[in-house]
Amino acid sequence: MKSILQSYVEKEIWLLIRDKWYFATIIGVVDDLLWFKHRTHNKETEEDTLWEMVVKISEVIAIDKVVSMMSRKPDVFMSRLLETDNTTNNHQQEHEK
């Protein structure tokens, strides 16, 4: 995992750390630590805050280099996938008639 993370230094990537996704820019990978920055958006104030975090590499569960995504919330993501699948199936069935 360390070598994969090192290949994304100064690039944006989705990181699943513990049970939360972060759209992050990796700053560095040193020893067993990952240093990255990410932005959060406050809906009430409409302000973004830039955070820097350092975590143990062992806490990184997954990475995803897909930049654009409907949602990282599993329930929203699955419902959108089902909608897309239903639309595709309905479209295919219309062509088969």
What values do phi and psi take at 79, rounded to 5?
A: -65, -35
Mean pLDDT of all residues in 16-25: 91
pLDDT score of 30: 94
Q: Which two tokens stand for residue 4?
A: 């994969």
Predicted pLDDT at 81: 61
The per-residue pLDDT for range 46-89, each reduced to its tens digit, is: 888 899 999 999 999 999 877 665 555 566 556 666 665 565 44
Confidence at residue 91, expressed as pLDDT on a 0 to 100 scale:
43
Amino acid 92: pLDDT: 46
Residue pLDDT, tens place only, 29-41: 999 999 999 988 7
Q: Are residues 60 and 84 in the same domain?
A: no
Q: Which domain holds residue 13?
A: 2-66
Residues 60 and 79 in one domain: no
Is 51 found in the same domain as 22? yes
The number of folded domains in the chain is: 2
31 and 54 co-located in one domain: yes
Query: What does the alpha-carbon distance between residue 8 and residue 2 come to, in Å, rounded to a whole number?
Result: 10
Rounded alpha-carbon distances, angstroms, from residue 40 to 2, 83, 90: 25, 28, 38
